[in-house]
Amino acid sequence: MEIFAILVCIFLFLSTLVISFPFIKKNKPTSKPKLPPGSMGWPYIGQTLQLYSQHPNIFFASKQKRYGEIFKTHILGCPCVMLASPEAARFVLVTHSHLFKPTYPKSKEKLIGSSALFFHQGDYHTRIRKLVQTSLSPESIKKLIPDIETQVISSLESWVSVRHVINAFCEMKKFSFNIGILSVFGNLENNYREQLKENYSIVEKGYNSFPTRIPGTAYSKALLARKRIHEIISEIICKKREQKLIEKVLLSHLLNYKDEKEEMLTDEEIADNVIGVLFAAQDTTASVLTWILKYLHDDQKLLEAVKAEQMSIYEANERGKIPLSWNQTRNMPITHRVILESLRMSSIISFTFREAVVDVVYKGYLIPKGWKVMPLFRNIHHNPEFYVNPQSFDPSRFEVSPKPYTFMPFGNGVHSCPGNELAKLNMLILIHHLVTKFRWEVEGYESGVEYSPFPIPMHGLPTRFLRD
């Protein structure tokens, strides 16, 4: 009987194995994540030509419509994964930013300087960013208002005096560069300002050219000009040290910095970061200002509302005899909303570049190590889910704060633009003086977008400035 019971137990055990065995075989190992959908375009060139030949809204929106909110492509010689949702932007720029490093082509890094803030992450980045943020904080930039006003009035007077059509974008670049010089150096001797402007212009022309060192090419000339800029800044540093610099501008913060080991920044580190800030400050601010001119020109009713708001401040300041105050620049709600909507509509920074430092899986898709990752600010800013009629210029939409990570004109996270408050202050002051004392006419207007490399109105918005 006992033997029979044992045999029954063995039989039941073997039966269980036989029955369960097919199910064990059918359990396949978890499949590896796949690359996102999308097209890589032509070899090496990829889809770079489409990116810079189409309207940016068309290029990015068509990709998202076809492939969804995550897709792959190949631009500027690099395989890329583009991400078009607020959640993805937050993932890359904030919550998992340690998995993605800031990245730029080496050719561009050489022209700005390898020690510049935006090429780094970690301790060095944290230290330098704190210095830059301190020098560009509201507490610091409010002291620049009188000097910014002087520069604004000087620029407007010069545009009126020429009495003919000018390239608005080019003039805005000159204005933005002068404000950049002011925020970095404070009051700088004219000869240094002109030398920096002349050489910076050469660097700028070579920045987006083919990176060859063949003598006579734009890139080769840019490298030489970059070397001269370094020499000019070194000379300025030497003089400021002799004068025991006390101005609370970026250069003084960089010069006076000491780490926990009492070590100071090298002249090369200072020069690279000065050049980096000047580079970041010019084209982006100039582009937005040019778009503001266009948007206000195209909506006369809105222009009248902005003018009424600014005229009340103008009259309170005895028709401009009293300078603008910081509190007044904080109390321009209509004008401020115009700036925010211009930033959204134009999306000067359509995307940002990061590079995966390890293989990353996001929403089931693989982002391979070494691939570029591009959160698409433009797609998010023009998504009808977040902005009703996104192609319509409507500043009133900013009467309510946008949802988190749906409005990122200055980026987000630890690498967001530290100069955003200065940029907006420049715009507010320029608009104030422009609409209270002057008017402008856009000549031979032609709709469309061109790149420089940032998107700007066609032909730089040919404009005639007149005294009101």
User: Binding site for heme: what residues are annotated?
Assistant: 417
Q: Which two tokens stand for residue 339?
A: 């700036």
Q: Which two tokens stand for residue 220?
A: 């080769």
Annotated binding-site residue numbers? 417
Q: Which helix (H) or strand (E) holds 75?
A: strand 70-75
Phi, psi of 188 (to 5 degrees): -115, 140
Distance CA 42, CA 107 (A): 22
Question: d(Cα 51, Cα 208) in Å, to the nearest integer?
Answer: 14
Residues 6+ apart with CB under 8 A from 97: 121, 413, 414, 415
CB atoms within 10 A of CB 289: 25
How wide is the angle at C-alpha 308 spanned by C-alphas 305 and 312, nearest 5°?
A: 150
Half-sphere exposure of 457 (CA within 13 A, CB side): 28
397 Cβ contact partners less than 8 Å away, ≥ 6 residues apart: 341, 387, 388
Tokens of 428: 């507010």
Q: What is the CA radius of gyration of the chain?
A: 27
Sequence-separated (6 or more) residues with CB below 8 Å from residue 244: none
Question: Measuring CA to CA, how many Å separate 400 from each of 273, 330, 386, 394, 403?
Answer: 36, 17, 12, 12, 9
Give the H/E segment covering residue 450.
strand 449-451
Cα separation of 289 and 116, whole Å? 26
Helix (H) or strand (E) segment spanning residue 438: strand 438-442
Distance of alpha carbon 84 from alpha carbon 312, whole angstroms: 42
- Spatial separation of the C-alpha atoms in residues 278 and 273, rounded to whole Å: 9
- Can you tell me the distance from the alpha carbon of 443 to that of 167, in angstroms, rounded to the nearest whole number? 10
CB 34 within 8 A of CB 70: no
For residues 160 and 466, is the Cβ–Cβ distance under 8 A? yes
Of 427, 438, 421, the C-alpha closest to 320 is 438
